Amino acid sequence: MQRQKISSGAAFEERVGYSRAVRVGAHVWVSGTAPILPDDVDPPDDAYEQASICLAIIERALAEAGASLDDVVRTRIYVTDADDIDAVGRAHGEAFAAARPATTGIVTELLDPRWRVEIEAEAVIA
30 closest CA partner among 50, 66, 6, 1: 6
Which residue type sits at 55? L
Instruction: Report the CATH number at residue 49.
Output: 3.30.1330.40
pLDDT in tens, 56-74: 999 999 999 999 999 999 9
What's the confidence (pLDDT) of residue 39?
82
DSSP summary character for residue 66: T
What's the confidence (pLDDT) of residue 63?
98
| 101-to-44, 90, 122 alpha-carbon distances in Å | 26, 14, 9
DSSP summary character for residue 82: G
What's the confidence (pLDDT) of residue 78?
98
Between CA 75 and CA 31 the distance in angstroms is 10
| Confidence band for 23, pLDDT divided at 50, 70 and 90 | very high
pLDDT in tens, 5-18: 999 887 778 888 99
Number of domains in the chain: 1
The predicted model gives 21-36 an average pLDDT of 97
What's the confidence (pLDDT) of residue 1?
81
Show Cβ contacts of residue 2 under 8 Å, excluding neighbours closer than 6 positions. Answer: 24
Domain that holds residue 72: 3-124
The predicted model gives 75-85 an average pLDDT of 98
Range with lowest mean pLDDT among 10-19, 46-55, 58-67, 85-94: 10-19
- Long-range contacts (CB closer than 8 Å, 24 or more residues apart) made by 54-60: 54/117, 54/118, 54/119, 55/91, 55/92, 55/95, 55/119, 57/8, 57/20, 57/33, 58/30, 58/33, 58/119, 58/121, 59/95, 60/8
